[in-house]
């Protein structure tokens, strides 16, 4: 179903189509991102964030667990909790969809990938909207460094691949679960990086 890509990345490649389909639900995508952004949480805690009922979140958690995306937190501090209030955590720092290049994917694989990408975009848009709606509640220094930018670049396929790899190398050391001893003033920051050729321009 999934295979670890190694300690250098902490990411897992998801090759199983049923596992990929599990992420095509916007609330499951939101739950998984939330669990990757910080400490373990209960279904009830996740429900307050992603806008679902606790029972719906419990169902989504079990589905994510079934496909290896999340796991139960078995730390001693969590032992007294009952099943409904069991804390969950992401089973990896990140996940990569597909075990082969998109150009080699079957039509079914491409359709599933598109569905997962759609759910991912729904969550990215929700996070951006919530930031804008609550930005005045943040300290000034956080308000001033938030960035929303787009770029239209002239690149070859090789240049795009090299640029994406450099950005990944730049961001990876700061990922939640990777960065050692972050400063007390550090917060979880959401970054979405999209890079693809426009089909309406040449």
Q: Which residues contact 115 (CB under 8 A, 6 or more apart)?
A: 21, 24
Chain Cα centroid distance, residue 26:
11
Whole-number average pLDDT of the chain? 87
pLDDT at 202 over 70: no
Give the count of beta carbons closer than 10 Å to the beta carbon of residue 142.
14
User: What distance in Å separates the CA atoms of residue 25 and residue 107, rounded to the nearest whole number?
Assistant: 20
- Residue 118 pairs in a beta bridge with none
The pLDDT assigned to 196 comes to 80
- The pTM score is 0.84
User: Mean pLDDT across the stretch 39-67?
Assistant: 93
Cα separation values, 29 from 22, 126, 128, 133, 177, Å: 9, 12, 15, 21, 19
DSSP for 27-52, written as a single string: HHHHHHHHHHTSS-B-HHHHHHHHT-
What do you get for the CA distance between the two ends of the chain, in Å?
38
Backbone angles phi, psi at 88, to 5 degrees: -120, 155
Helix (H, G, I), strand (E, B) or coil at 133: helix
Nearest to 32 by CA among 95, 113, 83: 95
Cβ atoms of 71 and 65 closer than 8 Å: yes
Read off the pLDDT band of 34 (50, 70, 90): very high
Residue-wise pLDDT tens digits, 111-147? 999 999 999 999 999 999 999 999 999 999 999 999 9
The pLDDT assigned to 8 comes to 53
Backbone angles phi, psi at 95, to 5 degrees: -135, 140
Backbone angles phi, psi at 78, to 5 degrees: -95, -10
pLDDT at 81 over 60: no
pLDDT at 3 over 80: no
């Amino acid at each position: 179903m999934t295979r670890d890509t190694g300690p250098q990345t902490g990411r897992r490649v998801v090759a199983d189509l049923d596992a990929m389909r599990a992420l095509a639900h916007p609330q499951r995508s939101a739950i998984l991102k939330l669990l990757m952004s910080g400490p373990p949480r209960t279904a009830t805690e996740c429900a307050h964030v992603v806008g679902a009922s606790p029972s719906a979140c419990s169902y989504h958690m079990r589905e994510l667990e079934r496909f290896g995306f999340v796991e139960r937190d078995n730390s001693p501090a969590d032992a007294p909790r009952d099943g409904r209030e069991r804390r969950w955590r992401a089973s990896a720092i990140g996940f990569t969809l597909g075990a082969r290049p998109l150009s080699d994917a079957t039509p079914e694989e491409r359709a599933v990938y598109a569905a997962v990408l759609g759910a991912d975009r729904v969550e990215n848009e929700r996070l951006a909207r919530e930031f804008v709606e609550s930005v005045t509640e943040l300290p000034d220094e956080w308000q001033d460094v938030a960035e929303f930018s787009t770029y239209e670049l002239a690149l070859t396929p090789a240049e795009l691949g090299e640029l994406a790899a450099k950005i990944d190398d730049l961001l990876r050391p700061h990922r939640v679960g990777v960065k050692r001893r972050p400063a007390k003033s550090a917060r979880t920051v959401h970054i979405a990086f999209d890079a693809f050729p426009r089909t309406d321009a040449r």
